[in-house]
Amino acid sequence: MKEIILHNIKISNANPIVLIAGPCVIEDEKVPFKIAEELLRITDDLGIPFIYKSSYDKANRSSVSSFRGIGINKALSVLSRIKEQFNVPVLSDVHSKEEIAITKDILDVIQIPAFLCRQTDLLVSAGETGKVINVKKGQFMSSWEMKNVIEKILSTKNKNIMLTERGTSFGYNNLVVDFRGLSTMAHFGYPVIFDATHSVQLPGGMGTSSGGQREFVEPLVKAAVAVGCAGLFLEVHINPDEALCDGANMISIKELPDLLKRALSIDKQVKEG
């Protein structure tokens, strides 16, 4: 079973869960710092290893008029300053080989978005950086197909791979989570992360934007941790209803401590017996 070392964080399916969390996208140059500070306080109090995440650009949106971000350069500067100020590893998603070249010195974890998880050149370029690569399983893919994704990255001799479950297409504008997939992907030997907030998304459900059912985040978190996983991926916001991207499926940061306490209790029982 592969254990990934990221700074002082040890990530594996057998270790206590880690948390990957933050707002969907960098909306401005102030709020991300407030969220990072609060997340660090919560995770320190609970003893959960923490990786900050936020997209510097939302390239895949429902509408051409949807908010994408504040610009790549400004957003990357925010991520770089959060990394330095709070001494936490940072994660964001890349969309092209060109973006990998300009982000690799800032990001600690390079994330491959679900819709791009089969793009060979992108996976190979990411792997060649030697960084930790987190690949979101495509909504259109089976869990066992992710073995091919792993092999593409392994072709670069990079074994720092994580796989993330984020739901599977279930008819129009809906997703369903097949929890058997967590076990299937874990058998490949690499850490499996469960993305609870994107798993309750209703893609394109509002016509020009995606909807979401955040009330189901907690039961899905409990189920995933009970099955067994290396960590949780949660998008959080100070006020999700006013978020500029994916607000319908993000949770309020105020709800996070209690949710994590319940998840920790289940995780301990599963992994310690």
Q: What is the pLDDT of residue 208?
A: 57
Question: What secondary structure does DSSP assign to 89-140, as a single string?
Answer: -EEEE--SHHHHHHHTTT-SEEEEPGGGTT-HHHHHHHHHT-SEEEEEPPTT
Q: How confident is the model at residue 101 (pLDDT cuts 50, 70, 90)?
A: very high
Q: What is the pLDDT of residue 246?
A: 82
Average pLDDT over residues 162-184: 96
Residue in this structure with the two tokens 């994916």, named with its chain if needed? 246
Q: What is the pLDDT of residue 252?
A: 97
Question: What secondary structure does DSSP assign to 168-233, as a single string?
Answer: EE-STT-EE--THHHHHHHTTTS-EEEEHHHHTEETTTTSSS-EE-GGGHHHHHHHHHHH--SEEE
- In Å, what is the CA distance from 250 to each residue of 36, 122, 197, 219, 239? 15, 27, 6, 15, 9
Average pLDDT over residues 182-209: 89
Nearest CA among 108, 195, 119 for reference residue 153: 119
**Identity at 243, one-letter amino acid code:** A
> Which tokens in the block code for residue 216?
């189901």
Residue in this structure with the two tokens 């960098």, named with its chain if needed? 26
Q: What is the pLDDT of residue 68?
A: 83
List pLDDT tens digits, range 6-36. 999 999 999 999 999 999 999 999 999 999 9
pLDDT above 70 for 212 = yes
Beta-bridged to residue 235, according to DSSP, are: 22
Domains and CATH numbers, the chain: 4-272 (3.20.20.70)
Q: Is the pTM of this model over 0.75?
A: yes
Residue in this structure with the two tokens 């993000």, named with its chain if needed? 250
Q: What is the pLDDT of residue 209?
A: 65
Where is pLDDT greater, at 64 or 162?
162
Q: What is the pLDDT of residue 206?
A: 61
User: Which of 143-147, 156-160, 200-204 has the least mean pLDDT?
Assistant: 200-204
Element housing 21 (H / E): strand 18-22
> Which tokens in the block code for residue 197?
């907030």
| 53-55-191 Cα angle (round to 5) | 45
Q: What is the pLDDT of residue 61?
A: 62
DSSP code, position 240: G
